[in-house]
Chains A and B, each alone.
Chain A
Amino acid sequence: MNILLIILLVSFPPEDKIKINNVWMRTSSQNMATALYFTIENTSEKADTLFRVDSDIAGKVEIHETYSQGDMMGMQKVDFLAIKSKKILELKPGSYHVMLMKLKEDVNDGDKENFVLHFKQAGEINVTATAKKSN
């Protein structure tokens, strides 16, 4: 029975309920801050929440949103991001982003860095971001 289950799982692996795409971060220098961006697609029947991001290259990591007030722009920490069932949430410049503070090293154009995204339902998802100068 166990062997049959293994064969089935190998032949038909469960589909990822959360898909992460377009992972990138902006170049920055040691001790400074930068932002990590990606798209979250929730293909499951349930809503999910991103509540933490881990990184080896940052001393502190927070989920943030950029907001505008008249001609002024600011940003604030958010505790989590909710992604409704069958919906896509985009973390992008001028909007939601993961703020990486106190960088332990320079992040140069083309560098690749690993992150762990923590979701309430989907659990841990490992991603790799490529650093870019672009907007």
Chain B
Amino acid sequence: MNKIFTILISIILLLSISCKEKLPLDKDLTKKNYNLINQEGEDVVFPEIIKGHIIVMGFIYTHCPDICPMTTHNMYLTQKKLKEDGIDDVKFVALSFDPDRDLPEVLRKFAEIRELDFKSWTLLTGDRTTVNELMKRFDVRAIKTDENLDEDGILEYSMMHTDRISLIDENGRLRKNYKGSTLNIEEIVNDIKTLMD
């Protein structure tokens, strides 16, 4: 009996070491709560909303014409591949680093036009200070560029930003970062499967 128990413990330890080797990053995101707003305009607390699920998290702003739609589409393709492989309990979160313009209704429209399903997807915005603090936790940066006033006196700008998708495990720990716009779908799907093992 003792022998079987020892073998079982050894197998668990080996699997755990193997996962650690494949995903060496292990940053606890649960130490601080961040009060944010989702695409429905509801107050939500991060990371409370992600606990218990593997999360694919992207960092975007909706006025971005090129990189952020690529990042979002790569998250969509990840979800599609996971579904094809029979995995449908992974959640997808997109945090806007442009909260001044990305109000909940803007995020909702951004998701709807891309046919993102709100059962699995949450888009987040919030007050500037909170969003900045959370971005710092992920080492994500965003800087306004080309600021100017349009003919109606409305401030226009682009943003230079970290190109990022992050993988978070079921315990709210950051396990891997990827380049969002050029994400290798196969790689992240394999990493998710490693976390599920």
Interface residues in chain A, defined as those with a beta carbon under 8 Å from any beta carbon in chain B: 26-29, 32-35, 60, 64, 66, 68-69, 71-77, 93-94, 97, 99-101, 106-109, 133-135
B197 contacts partner chain A, Cβ-Cβ < 8 Å: no
Task: Decide if B179 touches A106 in the complex (CB within 8 Å).
Answer: no
Query: Assuming A33-B63, A75-B66, A94-B182, is B73 touching A135 (CB within 8 A)?
Result: yes
Closest chain A residue to B183, Cβ basis: A135
Query: Assuming A32-B62, A69-B160, is B69 touching A26 (CB within 8 A)?
Result: yes
Query: Assuming A29-B113, A94-B181, A99-B65, is B146 touching A77 (CB within 8 A)?
Result: yes
B57-78: which have CB < 8 Å to A? 62-67, 69-70, 73-74, 76
**What residues of chain A lie closer than 8 Å to B115, measured between beta carbons?**
109, 133
**What residues of chain B lie closer than 8 Å to A66, measured between beta carbons?**
66-67
Taking the nearest CB of chain A, how far is it from the CB of B138, in angstroms?
Answer: 12
Taking the nearest CB of chain B, how far is it from the CB of A97, in angstroms?
Answer: 6
Partner of B65, one of A33, A72, A106: A33
B141 contacts partner chain A, Cβ-Cβ < 8 Å: yes
Interface residues in chain B, defined as those with a beta carbon under 8 Å from any beta carbon in chain A: 62-67, 69-70, 73-74, 76, 106, 109-110, 112-115, 141, 143, 145-146, 150, 156, 158-164, 179, 181-182
> CA of A29 to CA of B76 in the docked complex: distance in angstroms?
18
Report the number of A-B residue pairs with Cβ-Cβ less than 8 Å: 89
**What residues of chain B lie closer than 8 Å to A135, measured between beta carbons?**
69-70, 73-74, 181
Task: Decide if A74 touches B158 in the complex (CB within 8 Å).
Answer: yes
> CA of A64 to CA of B62 in the docked complex: distance in angstroms?
17
Taking the nearest CB of chain B, how far is it from the CB of A113, in angstroms?
Answer: 14
Task: Decide if B63 touches A32 in the complex (CB within 8 Å).
Answer: yes
Closest chain A residue to B139, Cβ basis: A71
Partner of A29, one of B73, B110, B150, B161: B110
> CA of A94 to CA of B182 in the docked complex: distance in angstroms?
9
Partner of B161, one of A73, A76, A77, A134: A73
> CA of A109 to CA of B115 in the docked complex: distance in angstroms?
10
Query: Assuming A71-B163, A74-B158, A134-B73, is B65 touching A26 (CB within 8 A)?
Result: yes
Task: Decide if A133 touches B114 in the complex (CB within 8 Å).
Answer: yes
**What residues of chain B lie closer than 8 Å to A69, measured between beta carbons?**
160
Task: Decide if A93 touches B110 in the complex (CB within 8 Å).
Answer: no
**What residues of chain A lie closer than 8 Å to B109, measured between beta carbons?**
29, 32
**Minimum-distance CB pairs A-B, first 9:** A74-B160, A35-B65, A33-B65, A73-B163, A29-B113, A73-B67, A29-B109, A135-B70, A35-B66
